[in-house]
Amino acid sequence: MIKVALTGSESTGKTELARLLGDHFRAPVSREFVREYAAGKGSRLGFADHGPIARGQIASEDDAIARATDLVILDTDLISTVVYCEHYFGHCPPWIAEAARSRAADLYLMLMHDVPWQPDTVRDRGDRREEMHALFAGKLRELGLTFVEIGGTWDDRFRRAVAAVEAVVD
């Protein structure tokens, strides 16, 4: 089973690209749990929310993995939970950090922040996407994980992402 995770700062097209890749490769896609959790909460997330967020993300990934035959696309994964938890609160619960390491994807597609910001009720880092991008890249490097930066137009992103996935699938 090859796991490919999309990651990076907010409003970079991860969800849409994950859907397109899932369609292209006929692979199941896990959903980004934190978005629905944050929208449902209706107030600012606190440190205590990261346990339920991590468990929900794990369940989402496990559901997609159970439906996969050889490839699964993850619309973010626990690495994102770790990065945001450390960013907002200075640390992450050890069990989440360990689960992120043990469940790491085979390939990360790190989406660049070179597309227009699309505000919504959950996003709050439009002015800090470059900083967040650096935090994601730093965490992937720290953990020794393989990633490819994906930027450019929407069509360029799709072509580059397909090529990166094909390089690990073949």
Tens digit of each residue's pLDDT (9 = 90 or more) over 62-120:
999 999 999 999 999 999 999 999 998 999 999 999 999 999 999 999 999 887 766 65
As a whole number, the mean pLDDT across the chain is 92
Entry pTM: 0.92
Mean pLDDT to the nearest integer, 137-145: 97
Name the 3-class secondary structure at 116.
coil
- All residues at 6 or more sequence positions from 76 whose CB lies less than 8 Å from its CB, including other chains: 5, 6, 7, 14, 32, 34, 57
Domain of residue 157, residue span: 2-169
Per the rule left: phi > 0, alpha: psi between -120 and 50, beta: everything else, 152 is left
Can you give the pLDDT at residue 44? 83
Can you give the pLDDT at residue 126? 54
Can you give the pLDDT at residue 122? 55
How far is residue 155's CA from residue 91's CA, in Å, rounded to a whole number? 37
What is the total count of domains within the chain?
Answer: 1
Assign residue 129 the CATH number of its domain: 3.40.50.300
DSSP assignment letter at 47 = G
Sign for the pseudo-dihedral over CA of 21, 57, 145, 90: positive
Q: In what side-by-side order are the strands of the sheet with 71-75?
A: 29-30, 71-75, 2-7, 107-111, 147-150
